[in-house]
Amino acid sequence: MVELKNVNVHYSSGVDALVDVNLRINDGEFVFIVGESGAGKSTLMKLMMREIVPSSGRVFVNGYNLAKLKGNKIAKFRRSIGVVFQEFRLIQDYTVYENVAFVLRIADQSMKYIRQRVPYVLNLVELANKARNRTRELSGGEQQRVAIARALANDPGLLIVDEPTGNLDPKRSYELVELLKDINRCGTTVVMITHEHDLVRYFGGRIINIEKGSVTFDENIGGHDEDE
Ligand code: ADP
């Protein structure tokens, strides 16, 4: 669950990136966050992953009051969420398997669990056959799916995906959203940040539009997604 109450983010440069934002995303939802460049989407994402704290207001994610978190509680909180960055942030010299296993080792998981969990999440993103390949040998779309598998490794309640379709052709973009929808159907809350209005309109569902730091639209719209 994500809840923002009267949140303001004022950067020292003088910019008000978010202005009195109130927002609640319940467990199990699939939400698109849309807005033009500079609207405040990344700032919202940084708040949700506790990279920054609000200038005023409160942020709750997965039961944690984020402004109050300190030290190793921050690390514990971060393991309750999965984040897929635009630039993936994978270790290129590692194999696909090692990239996913790495985050489980940091979380002190047993070897036995890691040996089960890594193939499971790689299977989810249809990359089981590439487990032993070095990450640098994969295409951009495949690397993105490794990043999704890694984000799912710790079985997070919330998955945040930042502009995932930026470098994908339209067909792959639709497939990617379908994959995220499948992940959502398995119980993970998914928040996808994007500026692609066409894609969002096609799938429909809950759409939150941010403009100049404010939520200007937050509604469920019907899409063309036959499965829904
Ligand atoms: P988006 O992700 O929608 O493009 P951002 O959240 O990155 O928007 O930016 C919102 C506003 O805050 C913009 O005006 C941007 O220039 C400003 N901004 C973002 N990050 C910083 C920062 N670290 N310091 C100062 N201003 C920032």
**Tell me: the pLDDT tens digits for 172-212?**
899 999 999 999 999 999 999 998 988 999 999 999 999 99
State pLDDT tens for residues 18-55. Answer: 999 999 999 999 999 999 999 999 999 999 999 999 99
**Which atom of ligand 1 lies nearest, measured to the CA of 37?**
4
Res 226: pLDDT: 54
The values of phi and psi at residue 195, to 5°, are -115, 10
Share of the chain above pLDDT 90, in %: 90
pTM: 0.94
Separation of CA 15 and ligand 1 centre (Å): 8
Res 61: pLDDT: 97
The CA distances from residue 180 to 112, 134, 212, in Å, are 27, 24, 27
- List, in order, residues 6 or more apart from 9 with CB less than 8 Å away: 16, 17, 18, 40, 43, 47, 52, 54, 55, 213
Residue 14, ligand 1, Cβ within 6 A: no
Taking CA atoms only, the protein residue closest to ligand 1 atom 6 is 40
| pLDDT exceeds cutoff 70 at 225 | no
Q: How many other C-beta atoms can be found within 10 angstroms of the C-beta atom of residue 224?
A: 9
Taking CA atoms only, the protein residue closest to ligand 1 atom 26 is 11
Site to substitute for ligand 1 among 8, 11, 12, most atoms within 8 A of C-beta? 11
